[in-house]
């Protein structure tokens, strides 16, 4: 039973911090992406959060951290209800609490959403400071944390195995004292998805608030509106894309069920990439870099690759060099990450937590030198 607490609509909470892309100042507040969160500093003996959840296929998972320690990870049920984030704690002490969405935006489920309506506590709210740096991570299933939970033999594609809490993006952000934005989608690439669908590419959705969502509910929440990049200043932008583009070369031609048109990334008889198709991929990388720079003029762009093979390492590096030659923008670098091994693999043949830690360490060591230079 909740005793002697006061309910505050989020619009009346004097101090709270939002992580991730969303609509500033709205109530209820949508959390669209993995890593999106509400963070508060609050006194009192207990804290409850008023949430509204919807989905048809893919259930939403969340975490609650108290004073930077994971207290719970759980699946949410549909409906509107309150969750207890802590209770029975010393009332005078100020606790840092972070309620985080684990699951990526789900393109397969147009009814999938998570809203924060308010908070209920017997304490008071205190300011939440900004971190020293701000980072953005752009990627695919790796950045969505697929495989970071579950046993190695688990092969189901389900939300339970996806998580921000064991993700390299979280590890990097915490090590660098940075706030983070994430935009990622499993199976998607720079040019096409793993099965060569050219409509499933991150650049086509990057400039929307959350173009990875679908359906009238998310449209009403503003997900498909242009994203206002002026509301933030990114110090470093970490792109981890190309893995699914490499997979597309091993797939048959994709056929559009509406138009009947086809799209294919082809291999030569000796297994090498056909030059025209490889150049098409490189052009997609160059164009995406131009988009990233246009929207993030001050950011240091780090294109990472390699956690699931090195097939397109040379092509990505070559595309970055071509971009630099065309634009004279030298604030971009290619960073190769350690490949996942039999010792570091997780569920669904994806990088496990150990692989994410190895990759995070490479990024951390690089950015520590760059950001403090």
pLDDT 10s digits, 96-153: 999 999 999 999 899 999 999 999 999 999 999 999 999 999 999 999 999 999 999 9
Give this prediction's pTM: 0.96
Q: Could you tell me where the beta strands, DSSP code E, fall in 91-233?
A: 95-101, 113-121, 125-126, 133-139, 178-184
- Peptide bond connecting 117 to the previous residue in cis, omega within 30 degrees of 0: no
DSSP-based three-state secondary structure for 264: coil
What's the distance, Cα to Cα, between the start and end of the chain in Å? 53
Position 50 scores a pLDDT of: 98
Position 373 scores a pLDDT of: 65
> What domains sit in the chain, N to C, each tagged with a CATH number?
6-124 (2.60.120.260), 133-371 (3.40.50.1110)
Residues of the chain with pLDDT under 50: 1
Exposed (0-12), middle (13-18) or buried (19+): which is 18, by Cβ within 10 Å? buried
Distance, in Å, from the CA atom of 360 to the CA atom of 338, rounded to the nearest integer, reads 10
Instruction: Characterize the bridge pairing of strands 69-75 and 37-42.
Output: unpaired
DSSP-based three-state secondary structure for 138: strand
Position 227 scores a pLDDT of: 96
pLDDT tens per residue, range 254-282: 999 999 999 999 999 999 999 999 999 99
């Amino acid at each position: 039973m909740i005793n002697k607490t006061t309910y505050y609509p989020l619009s009346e909470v004097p101090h709270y911090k939002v992580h991730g892309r969303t609509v500033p100042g709205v109530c209820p507040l949508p959390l669209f992406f993995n890593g999106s969160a509400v963070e508060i500093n609050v006194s009192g003996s207990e804290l409850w959060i008023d949430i509204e959840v919807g989905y048809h296929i893919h259930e939403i998972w969340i975490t609650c951290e108290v004073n930077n320690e994971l207290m719970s990870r759980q699946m949410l049920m549909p409906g509107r209800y309150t969750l207890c984030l802590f209770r029975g704690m010393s009332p005078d002490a100020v606790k840092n609490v972070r309620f985080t969405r684990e699951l990526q935006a789900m393109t397969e489920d147009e009814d999938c959403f998570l809203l924060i309506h308010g908070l209920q506590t017997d304490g008071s709210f205190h300011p939440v400071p900004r971190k020293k740096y701000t980072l953005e991570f752009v990627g695919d299933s790796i950045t969505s944390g697929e495989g970071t939970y579950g046993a190695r033999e688990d092969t189901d594609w389900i939300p339970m195995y996806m998580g921000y809490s064991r993700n390299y993006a979280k590890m990097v952000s915490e090590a660098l004292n940075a706030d983070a934005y994430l935009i990622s989608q499993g199976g998607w690439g720079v040019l096409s998805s793993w099965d060569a669908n050219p409509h499933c590419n991150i650049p086509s959705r990057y400039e929307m608030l959350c173009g990875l969502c679908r359906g009238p509910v998310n449209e009403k929440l503003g997900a498909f509106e242009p994203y206002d990049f002026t509301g933030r200043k990114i110090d470093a932008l970490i792109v981890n894309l190309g893995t699914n583009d490499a997979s597309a070369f091993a797939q048959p031609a994709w056929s559009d069920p509406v138009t009947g048109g086809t799209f294919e990334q082809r291999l030569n008889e000796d297994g090498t990439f056909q030059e025209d198709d490889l150049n098409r991929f490189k052009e997609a990388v160059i164009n995406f870099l131009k988009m990233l720079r246009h929207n993030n003029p001050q950011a240091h762009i780090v294109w990472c690759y390699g956690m699931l093979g090195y097939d397109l390492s040379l092509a990505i590096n070559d595309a970055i060099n071509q971009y630099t030659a065309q634009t004279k923008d030298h604030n971009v670098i290619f960073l190769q990450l350690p490949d996942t091994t039999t010792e570091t693999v997780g569920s669904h043949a994806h990088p496990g937590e150990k692989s994410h830690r190895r990759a995070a360490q490479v990024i951390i060591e690089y950015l520590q030198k760059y950001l403090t230079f």
